[in-house]
Every structure is written in structure tokens, then in C-alpha cells.
Structure 1
Amino acid sequence: MDILKNKPTQSTLSLLIKKSLCQTFSLFMLAMPFSVHAAETEAEVNAADAPLPVEKASHALTTPEREVRVIYLPESERKRIREEIKQEVLATAKKENWAQPSALPDWINRIKLYGDLRVRGEGNFYDKGNFPYYINYNAINTGSPYDTTGQSGLPSVINTTKDRERLRLRARLGLTADISETLKADFRLTTGGFTNPVSSNETMGNNFNRYNLGLDRAYLTYQPIESLSIWAGRMENPWYSSDLVWDDDLGFDGVAAKYQFELSDSVKPFITVGALSVQNTSVDLPTYSVSKQSSRDKWLFAGQIGTDWKIQDDINARVGLAYYHFYNVVGNLSSPCPAYQSNVPCSTDNTRPMFMQQGNTLFALRQLDISGKPEGPQYQYFGLATPYQVLNLNTQLDFTMGDEQHLIFNADYVNNVGFDEGRIRKAGPVTNSSKGYFDGGDQGYQIKALFGHPKAVETGQWNVSAGYRYLESDAVLDAFTDSDFHMGGTNAKGFFVGGNYSFTRNAWLGLRYLSADTITGAPYSVDVLQLDLNARF
């Protein structure tokens, strides 16, 4: 063990003890109330030890040779000497790490654990007039393709008509480690499945079975100077954004960097850039074929500029303008493909998204060749019908009130500048098309207000909030936006209200109510009620 390796050597310890004893003895002698001059020769010592006659004794005490001198050492000087000895011993002990045999190793002091736990009661309440036949395209794209002739039965369908109640659990445990003065590592484990990147919840009531636990964060932070941070790995959200674009539980894979500097005492601009991997092509694609397809990886290339602005001592603002360019996410029509069996691959199957929620405009990816068997099954996958190049303006105005309370306003706007309606119509959309024409859109916005403590973590702290959201079908990728509003995805509008109250330190109750409807297409309305018990450490 390190403690045993750091024990002092025998010679070092001996020298230190000898030195301390000598100094202590000197201090003792100096502290004596008097001292006697020693004789210069052994004969004088012996003579001095011999008994004196009575008549000479009184004379001896008064002769110069037997003079007694009294030396006085002030108490302050004695304290100074003792303190010097003490400090020298402690310095040596600290340097050689043997004075505290129970001291912890240095690496333990550079590691910090953190985590949180949430128990949620949730109710999903559907309008009785909802359209009952909403196809679950995500289930099709992540499984076997769908037989469009209907011979294999109905595809997977989303529930839009029957209310549901459930208990849910989220647990997260993280660790940060200071590797050096400029490099830090971060790990976090979380509950949640491995097919849904925007939720860490586990639904309780699985015959008392255990829950999944996965690696949610694993990244390095390099900070060569105070104003520059560089991240690499699976990281937290590097952007200044809201859940209009990115769900709160979402992690990002790749590299990103942020540079923030002081333009003045009140204005601090920042720049953030990133290259993030969205989907990597399987090396064995297609699985059931000896003819493999080349890689077609999907990426997010993004940049953001913004500033923190201290308008007054009690008024702060923040503005961020981001551009998110999704590369290779749009689907491509395949070459003619006779897909009479579910395991037959087609040339552009790898352009389909492998995770979706609901709302984006889709089209049939495969150009099915039915000439050889027109009556047989026709298996189909679905892809995104338009590119996604999202422009996002996010603003916040924060008024500091009394008792550490705040009044905060947020306004968020998105526009998919890559939206291509002509391409959508040419592809023949299977979603967001009603009465024979396409009726989707490319814009969205959200406004929100919060009053109280921004984070209710100390006993008695609280906040309340309310907002409105309008998010058209193709304003953002439905895969990564908020998973609670309208049960996740785009093509939704509605309001939300909520509040939090901290009943003890680092623990609080939360209540949220979200009411949302579809913007276009078949009717689908759902209200979500969530009651949360939260704790963190």
C-alpha cells in the first residue's frame, strides 16, 4: 500500500529523533533558573567534590572561583524555540507522509460522486375522438419491414384512445475525476432502455424484476485555458437550448468545444462548435446477404454563437443562435427491389432512421419490383422525406427578486431552413398528408415563464411555471425533442404548467400538466399528468 511505501527510513527517523532530543535538551538547560560554571580540569572537579571545612565553606561561596550566575530566559523565547522544533518535525512528517498512517491516498481526493433519484406517478389521458389507427413507424424501421399488402396483418399501432397510469423510476449515479489541472473525466450510469435515447425512465411493475442500467456519460473535458473547454466522448448537452429541440435526457456522442470570453464586465460572448455522431452504419449490413453495403454514417455538425449580458445588477439576459446541420439523415429511394420476403435487403435500407418518435414526414424507401410475384407480400421500410438544417434562436431574461427568487422569461424559435416541400411531394409522403395534399410545416416556437427559485433544492424553496408550445411536423427531428409533450415528437401544439416544492434539503416534489393536440392530420389529443418525488446528492 502507498502508506507503507511512504514510511520513513530508519536513518532518517533516527537523525530526526536525535536532532529533536538535542534541541529539547538545550531548551531544558536554557530554561533552568541558574547554571554553574564548570571547572576547567578534572582535578578541579574532584577538588570541588571534596567536602570543605566549615570555616572555608562560607568563604568558598563568596570567592570568584565559586561564583553562582543566574541566567533568565523569557517565556516568549522558550515558546519560539518549541514552535520551531514542532514545525520542523511536522514538515518532515508531511513530506515523507508517515505522521498520518490513516491518511487517504491522493487519488481519492480528486474524485467526486454525484447522482439523483426520481419516482414518478404518471397518467396519460386520451381524447375519445382520437383517430385510432396511428402506425408506429419506429417499430417497423427497427424490426422487420411491413407487408404493405396487409397479408401479414396490421402493422404496429400507437395507442391513442385508452387512458394509461403507471409508476416510473429513474436513477443516475455519476463520477467526476480530476486527472490533472487541465483534464477531467466524467462517467454516469443511468436506468432506462437501450433503444430510446430520450428517456431514462423504467416503468415499474415488471413482476418485481430488475431494471436496465447503462453507461449514459463517458467523456473527457480538456481546459487548457480558463475560457476554453473541449469535450470528447459521450457528453451532456453542449448547447444553450430548450426541450423544444433537445430532450433533457439526451446525450451526445462525438467532440465539441466552447470558448467564452469577457468583452466587458457585463457582456460575455460565447462560441460553441461540435461534430457529433448520430448513427453509425453496421459493419454487417445487410445481415442476410453476402453483398454488403458501404458505410453511410449520419452526423450532426453544429455551431452556436451567443452572449451572457448583465443588463443591471438584478437583470440578466442570455441569447444563443444555433445552426444544426444533420448530415445523411434524409432517406433515398432504392433501386428496383423484389422484396417478397422480410429478410430480403434493398439498396437504401441503411438510409432509414433507426429511432423516431412521431411527427416527421416519411415516405416509402423501397422501389418494390412486383413483376415476378404481383400477388405476393411486399415488404417496406420508411425514411425521412426532407433534409434537416435547423436554425434555433433561444433567449432568456432573468429578473432577480427578493429572497433569492427570480422571474424568468424564455422564448425559443426554430426553423428548418433545409425543408424541401418539392422533394416531399415528389417522394409521395405517407404521413402529414391528408385530403390528397401535404400539410406539414417547418417552424416552431415555445414561450415559458418561471417564478420562484430556479432550482428548488433548499428547504422551503419553490417555483411555478407555465408555457405554450407550437411545433410543426418538420421543424426539428422528432427523434430528439421532448418525450413528454404529446407523448413525444413533433406536429403538436398546446400548453403546460408545473411547480416544485423542496420539503427538505436536496429533495423536492414536482407536479406537471401537459395538454397537446396535433397541428395537422388526423386528430390526436393527449393530456399528461406527472407527480415526481426527486432527491439528489
Structure 2
Amino acid sequence: MNFKLRNIVAATLAGSALMSFGTSAMADSTFDLVQALVSKGVLTEEEALPLLKGRENDIQLADKKVKKAAKLGMSDAIDNATVYGDIRVRYEDRSGTGATTGADVDETRERARYKLTLGVKTESGDWYTDLALAMGANGRSDNATFGKSATTNINDKETVFVKRAMVGYKATDWLAIEAGRMNNPLYTTPMVWDADLNFEGLAEKVNYKMNFADLFFTAAQAQYQGDRKDFSTTGDTITTELFAFQGGGRYLFNDTTSAKAALTYTTYSHNTSNSTFKPGIGTDGAGAATVPGAVNAAGTAFVPAVAAKPGYAIAASGVNDLDTIEIPAEVNFMANSSIGVRLFGDYVYNTNADDRAKHSGLAAAANGSEGSDDSAWMLGVMVGSANDFKSFEANKMVKGDWSARIWYQDVGVWSVDPNAVDSDFMDSRVNMKGTTFKAQYNFTDNVFANFAYGHATRKNNTFGAAGAASDLALNLKDFDLVQLDLTYKF
């Protein structure tokens, strides 16, 4: 088929859907039939062209569309490229009660915020990529605040950073290998991993279909803190790696009911002689570890520990003595022909919690973990409208759809990595428990609003509500969060 006819047929089949020029005649069966006959060798190109006689206007319009589309060039090696992203604006109110110095005080932080994500995915044979840009140097949040701060103004522009830069290879029908800065490859929940966080390293993903079951196995090796340097004299630097192994499956009981669950083991490897990885929960202002509310000789009360996110320098909330077993799960079913229900939960147990407590340097933890400080759990339910079960299960919402979810979570101080937990509903803290409600309504297929409210309290008052990059500068006793979002996806 010559270039002109091939492009005419392609534009005819996809023109109105992709270009939105509203020319319905471009998608009729005549062109479909001509293309099929030529591709099968029934007709030659010369024999096919007369069949299009009388459609000159359509042909000219198709040629214009092809030329217009050709202005956006693409390498011949690329089979497909998809641009995606979203713009979100948010109103947020965070408030809490807790100690800074002396007696407990209240703190409220009210902000209007926005975020931008812009990415492109490509495919080339068995290879594929994902490149995305977003605001926010801290990987746990892509948000920027209106006016930035009390010391800057609206004229200051935000910086855009690399959010993802991943290359993948589909080795077989069931094995894919990915390398670079990538989406979290594990099935998990925000109780353990903030949804904005990415992995940096390698991931091997196996997916195997067996009758009504979809089995999966994922191995991930992440460079948590990198750039190892070994010198014969001085100046050595260490690295920290994260290793995760997950196996699980999804089982379809019938056309309206499914279940999904996984078992995950995560561990960290680093030089434990580096004291900066000590999982301290705070200091009394004089450098000595203490418990919330304690006051040193200078009258300075407990201050919560602060740490950085994965991939950056780790401060007091270290990752030593973290060997966790996680079990996330969900059950999806249709309550009736238009309403779907999801029951979901997560459970985490740190097998090394006693050592983590002992190595914290806190006198109160010298005898090991207390109660349920070695574990974390979540349980919730979601209800939403759905045109069919498949769409509901995949969280594909269109115009007029709605959903509402509520969950409770309880996170022990020694149970999970404090540098990775959700930055919103528990203010990036561990040793917190509470309830969150979140609802969504779609105005169109790609424009929707979210409302969320969460309330949490400190779980064990023996220790502080330790956090990494928390938004409130308090050793929290209680915490409330209100968010209202408007999101446009493209």
C-alpha cells in the first residue's frame, strides 16, 4: 500500500476520535473494506483507488489531518507514545496538639496548594519507558503552596524535577524487568508507602494467568541511599539498599466478585556502625534521648525526630532493624448492578522490632518492644458507583461516578519505615492511630473533586509520634486534616 493510501485509511479510521474534528464520514465501512481487501492482497493499490471515487473531499481532509499530525515528530523506532499527566488544586487545613517546649500547645496550618505532573510513556517492540516530571524536591509530595511562604511571593516560580525515568523490557509474556526511577512496583497501601514515593533501582515482575487466577511475583532492589565510596585512607561513604520480595494473586470467583492478596518481605542493608542510622525518637534539647513531655535541665521539652525521605540523607529515624512482613488484601464485589463494594486492609509485622527498640537509645525501650509497637494494621471499606464490575475493580471512574471510602489504621512506633509512610493523613508519623474518610465525584471522565477528613491520636504515650518531614512542628498528641481537591487529568 502506498504512503498516501495508507495514511488516508489510517486517518479515516482514527481521525474523528483522535483529532476531534467531527467528520463522521471519515469512519465509514467503505474505507474499512478497502483497507482489508488491499492488506489481504485481493485488490492492488491501483484497483482500490477507483473505489474511493466520489470521496475526494474526504480524501483531502484526511490528507490535511495526516499532515497536521505529522508536525509532532517521533522516532521511527517508537511504536507508540502516550502523553499523560494531571493538574490539581487543593485547599488544606492541618491542626494538632502537642509539645514543642514546655506545656502542650495547638498548631494549625492552612494552605492553598497546587501540583503538576507531566509524563510520556513509549513502546518500542518489547521495550518501554516512563518519563515524568513533577514539582516538589521532596519525593513524598508534589505540591506547591500558593504564594510559597510568608517570606516569598506570587512572582516566585516553582522548579520541576524528575519524578520517573524508567526503562523496561518485556522479556517474555510473563516476565518484565524495569530499571531506573520507577513507580513503586509493589502492591501495598499508604500506611506503609506514600503513594507519591518512587523506587530507584531494579524490579523484576512476573505475572502468570491460570484459569481464574492471576498470580504475580515481584522482586525489587532499591538504592535507598547511594554513592558508595571506598578509599584506602579516609573519606569512605556507605550506602543503604532496600530489598523487597512479594508474591500474591488475584482470584475471580465469578463475574462480580474477586479477591486479591499478597505476602511481602522487606529488608534493608547498610553499615550499622554509622550512628546516623540510629532510629531515635527525639531528644530533650541537650542531645539525650528521652520520652514525650520530659524536660531537661534547661527547661526544654521533647522534640520529635526528623528524617529525610528514601534516596536522601537519613537522620534520626533510621532504617536499621527493619525486617518486615506485610500482608495487603482486598475483596471486590457488586452489591447490585450499579454499586460496587471493596473491603481492604493491610497488616505489617517487624520481626526485628525488639532490636530496633533497644538500639533507639531510649531508656523506656531498653527492654524491647512494648505491646503492639512491633506491628501496624489497616481495615477499611469503599463503596462506589460502577457501570460494570471490571471498571469498579480497576478504579476507572467516568462522568457522574462517585465513591466513598473510610478506613482505620494503627501504626506501632517500631513497625514500619518512618521515612516512607503517607505524608497526609498521619502527618508523616508513626506511633499514630486514627480514621480517615475520603470521597470522590467525577464531573467529567477526567475532571473530579475529592473531599477528605482524617483524625488521629498518639498510639503509645511512652514514645513520641516520630516522623520524617512532618508538616507540624509538634510531638503530636492528636491530629486533624481536611483536604478539598479539584483534579484535571490528561
- Asked if TM exceeds 0.5, the reply is yes
Residue matched to 1:111? 81
Matched, 1:261 2:208: yes
Amino acid in structure 2 at the alignment position of 1:217: R
What is the aligned-residue RMSD (CA, Å)? 3.6
Match of 1:450 among 379, 382, 390: 382
Name the counterpart of 2:223.
Answer: 277
Distance 1:110 1:123, change over 3 A: same
User: Is the Cα–Cα contact under 8 Å of residues 225 and 239 in structure 2 kept in the other structure?
Assistant: yes
Asked if the contact 2:354–2:369 (Cα under 8 Å) also holds between the matched residues in 1, the reply is: no
| Structure 2 counterparts to residues 161-310 of structure 1, below 5 A | 161-178=106-123, 180-192=124-136, 194=137, 196-206=138-148, 207-208=153-154, 209-264=156-211, 266-281=212-227, 292-310=234-252
Structure 1 residue 84: Cα displacement: 6.6
Give 1:388's aligned residue.
Answer: 322
Q: Which runs of 5+ in 2 are unaligned?
A: 4-41, 52-62, 289-304, 306-314, 386-391, 465-475
2:440 to 490, 500, 504: 500
Tell me the CA shift for residue 292 of structure 1: 3.4
- Determine the structure 1 residue equivalent to 2:277: 352
Partner SS state of residue 85, structure 1: helix
Match of 2:294 in 1: none
Separation in structure 2 between the aligned mates of residue 412 and residue 466 of structure 1, nearest angstrom: 14
Q: 1:325 to 1:438 in 2, by over 3 A?
A: closer
* 1:240-263 alpha-carbon deviations (Å, 9 max, x no partner): 111111100001000001111122
Match of 1:460 among 397, 400, 407: 400
Q: Is structure 2 residue 35 aligned with structure 1 residue 87?
A: no
User: In the alignment, what sits opposite 1:123?
Assistant: 93
2: CA distance between counterparts of 1:459 and 1:503?
5
Counterpart of 2:381, as a letter, is: A
Give the residue type in structure 2 aligned to 1:188: A
The Cα offsets for residues 203-257 of structure 1, whole Å up to 9 and x where unpaired, read as: 1113111112100000011112222111100000100111111100001000001
- 1:257–1:535: structure 2 CA closer, same or farther, 3 Å change rule? same
The whole-number CA distance in structure 1 between the counterparts of 2:100 and 2:370 is 20
Note if contact 2:95-2:107 (Cα within 8 Å) is conserved in structure 1: yes
8 Å contact from structure 1 (residues 446, 469) kept in 2: yes
The 5-angstrom pairing of residues 331-480 of structure 1 reads 331-332=272-273, 348=274, 351-352=276-277, 361=281, 382=316, 384=318, 386-402=320-336, 404-421=338-355, 424-425=357-358, 428-429=361-362, 433=364, 441-453=373-385, 454=392, 455=395, 457-480=397-420
CA distance in 2, matches of 1:504, 1:88: 41
Distance in 2, Cα, partners of 1:83 & 1:386: 70
Q: Distance in 2 between matches of 1:386 and 1:118?
A: 36
1:528 aligns with 2:477: no
In structure 1, what residue type is equivalent to 2:487?
N
CA distance in 1, matches of 2:111, 2:172: 48
Structure 2: distance between partners of 1:82 and 1:259: 44
Displacement after TM superposition at 1:503 (Å)? 1.4
One-letter code aligned to 1:444: A
| Letter aligned with residue 212 of structure 1 | T
Between the aligned partners of 1:424 and 1:385, the Cα distance in structure 2 is: 12
Kept in 2: contact 1:253–1:277 (CA 8 A): yes
CA contact (8 A) 2:230 2:236 kept: no
CA apart distance, 1:284? 11
Q: Is the 8 A contact 1:456 1:502 kept in 2?
A: no
- Structure showing greater radius of gyration is 1
- Distance in 1 of aligned mates of 2:45 and 2:448: 53
| Pairwise CA distance, 1:118 | 1.0
Closer/same/farther in 2, CA of residues 426 and 300 from structure 1, 3 Å limit: closer
Q: Which amino acid aligns with 1:185?
A: T
1:291 Cα deviation from its structure 2 partner: 6.3
CA 1:428 to 1:462, structure 2 compared with 1: closer, same or farther past 3 Å? same
Shift of 1:114: 0.3
Structure 1 residues 124 and 294: alpha-carbon distance in aligned structure 2, compared to 1, 3 A threshold? same
Whether contact under 8 Å (1:363, 1:384) holds in the other structure is: no
Amino acid at match of 1:277: Q
Distance in 1 (CA, whole Å) between partners of 2:365 and 2:99 is 13
CA contact (8 A) 1:456 1:500 kept: no
Letter in 1 for 2:384: G
The one-character-per-residue Cα deviations of 1:188-210 (angstroms, maximum 9, x if unpaired) are: 00011x2x221111111131111
- Alpha-carbon distance in 2 for matches of 1:259, 1:436: 42
Which residue identity does 2:198 align to in structure 1? G
Q: How does the TM-score come out when normalised to structure 2?
A: 0.69
When residues 238 and 472 of structure 1 are mapped into structure 2, their CA distance, relative to the original with a 3 A threshold, is same
| Unaligned stretches of 5+ residues in structure 1 | 4-80, 91-97, 135-158, 333-347, 354-358, 369-379
- Classify 1:86/1:529 alpha carbon distance in 2 versus 1 (closer, same or farther; 3 Å): same
For the residues of structure 2 that align with 1:173 and 1:197, how far apart are their CA atoms? 15
TM-score by length of 1: 0.64
Q: What is the distance in 1 between the residues matched to 2:489 and 2:200?
A: 25
Letter in 1 for 2:125: E
- Structure 1 distance, partners of 2:280, 2:126, is 42
Identity %: 25
- Residue 264 of structure 2 corresponds to residue 322 of structure 1: yes
CA separation of 1:385/1:438 partners in 2, compared to 1, >3 Å: closer, same or farther? Answer: farther
Change (3 A) 1:109 1:463: same
